[in-house]
Structure 1
Amino acid sequence: MTEKNRKYVFPLLLDLHYVKNDVLKTCYKIVNHIEAANIIVVPLEYSYSMKKYNNIVQDLINQALKIGKPIWVYSGGDFGYSLKNQNVYNFRFSGFKSKLNRRTFLLPAFVNDPYGLHINKEFSTINKQPKPKIGFVGQAKGGFLKYLKELLSFAKTNIKRFVIKQLRDYQAFYPSITKRAKYLELLKKSNHLQTHFILRNSYRAGVKTLAEKHKTTQEFYQNIYNNPYTFCLRGAGNFSVRFYEVLATGRIPILINTDCLLPLDNKINWDKHCLIINEANIKTMPETIVQFHAKLSNQDFLKLQKSNRELWNNYLRRHTYFKEVHDIFCNILN
């Protein structure tokens, strides 16, 4: 397996077959016969595997259904695909909470530990200041031309979905880049906030070389590290990778809720780890942030940063996440 094709592999199998994580080896075991398994895992991303290995995948699923075994399917990418069968549990990054069934498991974006890799320091907390300090580095540009470009990209995606019959859920047009610009401008205008934004005109600032990628990645993480809060809004799919990068850094995400489902929501009280603002209330976002910040003592502020770093380390890394999923499924199977 190479870095190029790892996105097609069910994430759990990366730690069972390729990396062989010691923690997960105590929870999971790959067996040779379907009858001996508690669960059946479709090893490759669903849309990709149905395109490349349709008959094999269908046969595996049919065998699992025949003997009544639960099936785990990984539906990756920005959109994901909803499967309806009662025995299928769908692992995906994206989706709308109001539309997803109870057999959906939201995957966190599995990001690498930024400390030592992108931030040349050890984790430490930031003391509370009178005004909330909010950071953001990323693609955010307003104007009609950018809006039109996003609309054309949306049309292209849906043409592929219908013509090529790609297995991905339909979602309404959402111009995330122009919305980011609008919402960040709302924060910049507030006299009660400190904002430290680096706005890009293109994804990753249009980098072309490894040196440029390294530089912009360091700028990205340094901004998160230097600011206790970071603004997080969905991209093409209804999820934010930045949200998990902020938690990994031990900082506080301000997440704009666009009908989001967050991972392990039956286990994690997300309101204790971030500020979640419904998009319908976006006009009062600055006031909401100020009120949230004012309620925290400096001790609580430091504790929140530490707990977010611990949350990422204990629940949102690939091996720790699937350890939690194992425990959930033990209860389901029993």
Structure 2
Amino acid sequence: MLKLYTEQEYLIPENRRFVFPLLFDLWYAPNTNLVEKYQIVSEIANCDIAVVPVDIARFDAGKKQQKLNDFIDSALNLNKKVWMYSAGDYGKSISVSNQVYTFRLSGFASKLNAQTFILPSFINDPYASFSKEFRTIGKLQQAQIGFVGHASHSFLKKIKEYLLFLNYNSRRFIGEIQTDYQPFYPSGVKRYQYLKLLEKNPEIKTNFIYRNQYRAGVKTEAAKKKTTLEFLENMESNPYTFCMRGAGNFSVRFYETLAMGRIPLVVDTDFSLPLDNEINWEKHCVIAKSNKIAETLIHFHQNCSSEDFELIQRNNRKLWQTHLEREAYFLKIYSIFKTDIQ
């Protein structure tokens, strides 16, 4: 069992949305399998790992930042490992010691340190709210790919994204927020451009539904249910799904595709994926450079046997269940750190 210490005064109802994800499953809604592997202790001297209780962005202002530094220093002085959580689209890794580990959703693979762990997007099982059960799709002569989501070629959309970028980075410059820097990336516009390139290729069958806003801008529960169903039906009926980063350098759709047992075609934006020392990601998805998206998909499809094509779908569904679902991910993290601490 791994013994975790954290500052329990932060584990209040108001912080449910901001806590280190594992703490949610140990404190707010105890998960039976995780409670068997992790124990929260009351004294830092008795722990294996000291866990910063909430998203480190909550410590950005003034004296709060000093509290974060003091927590880290107190753990390091006792030769304890430290886990931190950096939430949101951007995130930040703190490189003060090789004993300090950051868990975050995104970042640039070429810039992340060795103590960074990428978190999957913790989604619910899509089939739990879907009337169909998982099945594989047989290989067709043409690669068939789907997409439902926000993609726009509007010049006004690009301007809006740029203004949001300037606003964010001005706040970052004055120290109001502290995250790693990201260059401007108009994801909605680029996504539209790449989808159109796929549509124009006669060797690819496409099934795309374009939205002008995130989640089609719907407000009512009925409308949300309708658009969610359209999203799931599109993914279920196409063996490949187009995936690309959004504001942050990661894609929730990527994990939804795996959970559905489909094959992500993902644009390489120098992203990093979870548990990459254990998972050979090239066996689960098609990773394409932005200037060779169609060619990469066609080459993969032509060189994949019918048997392997369906096997990949089964393996992707299983991978999500055994490595990327919330409980499964932290059981894997337990195995990594338990071996390291022994």
Same fold (TM over 0.5): yes
Deviations 1:208-266 (A, max 9, x none): 11111111111111111111100011001111110000001110000111001110000
Aligned ranges 1:273-288 → 2 under 5 Å: 273-279=284-290, 282=291, 284-288=292-296
Residue 303 of structure 1 corresponds to: 311
In 2, the alpha carbon distance for the partners of 1:252 and 1:311 equals 12
Aligned ranges 1:21-40 → 2 under 5 Å: 21-40=31-50
Letter in 2 for 1:189: K
In 2, the alpha carbon distance for the partners of 1:302 and 1:82 equals 38
Residue 181 in structure 1 maps to residue 189 in structure 2: no
Q: How much has 1:73 moved relative to structure 2? A: 0.2
Aligned ranges 1:1-150 → 2 under 5 Å: 6-51=16-61, 53-86=64-97, 87-117=99-129, 119-150=130-161
Letter in 2 for 1:28: Y
Letter in 2 for 1:43: P
Letter in 2 for 1:163: I
The DSSP-based 3-state class of the residue aligned with 2:149 is: strand
In 2, the alpha carbon distance for the partners of 1:146 and 1:154 equals 12
Deviations 1:20-66 (A, max 9, x none): 11221221111111011000001100011444944543332221021
In 1, the alpha carbon distance for the partners of 2:183 and 2:145 equals 29
The DSSP-based 3-state class of the residue aligned with 1:196 is: strand
- CA contact under 8 A between 2:267 and 2:293: conserved in structure 1? no
The DSSP-based 3-state class of the residue aligned with 1:29 is: strand
In 2, the alpha carbon distance for the partners of 1:240 and 1:68 equals 36
Larger deviation, residues 83-92 vs 307-316: 83-92
Letter in 2 for 1:124: R
Deviations 1:62-93 (A, max 9, x none): 21021111110000000001201112100000
- CA contact under 8 A between 2:15 and 2:54: conserved in structure 1? no
- CA contact under 8 A between 2:136 and 2:261: conserved in structure 1? yes
- CA contact under 8 A between 2:144 and 2:206: conserved in structure 1? yes
Larger deviation, residues 57-66 vs 40-49: 57-66
Quick one: percent identity of the two aligned structures? 50
In 1, the alpha carbon distance for the partners of 2:261 and 2:24 equals 26
In 1, the alpha carbon distance for the partners of 2:68 and 2:32 equals 29
Residue 156 in structure 1 maps to residue 164 in structure 2: no
Residue 291 of structure 1 corresponds to: 299
Dislocated runs of 4+, deviation >6 Å: 1-4
In 2, the alpha carbon distance for the partners of 1:224 and 1:303 equals 17
In 2, the alpha carbon distance for the partners of 1:116 and 1:69 equals 40
In 1, the alpha carbon distance for the partners of 2:18 and 2:313 equals 33
In 2, the alpha carbon distance for the partners of 1:302 and 1:16 equals 37
In 2, the alpha carbon distance for the partners of 1:190 and 1:183 equals 11
Residue 251 in structure 1 maps to residue 259 in structure 2: no
In 2, the alpha carbon distance for the partners of 1:218 and 1:11 equals 27
TM-score under structure 2 normalisation?
0.93
In 2, the alpha carbon distance for the partners of 1:11 and 1:38 equals 18
Q: How much has 1:13 moved relative to structure 2? A: 0.7
| Residue segments in structure 2 that go unaligned for 5+ positions in a row | 1-10
Deviations 1:122-151 (A, max 9, x none): 111111111111000111001322211111
Letter in 1 for 2:33: V
Change over 3 Å in CA distance of 1:214–1:144 after alignment to 2: same
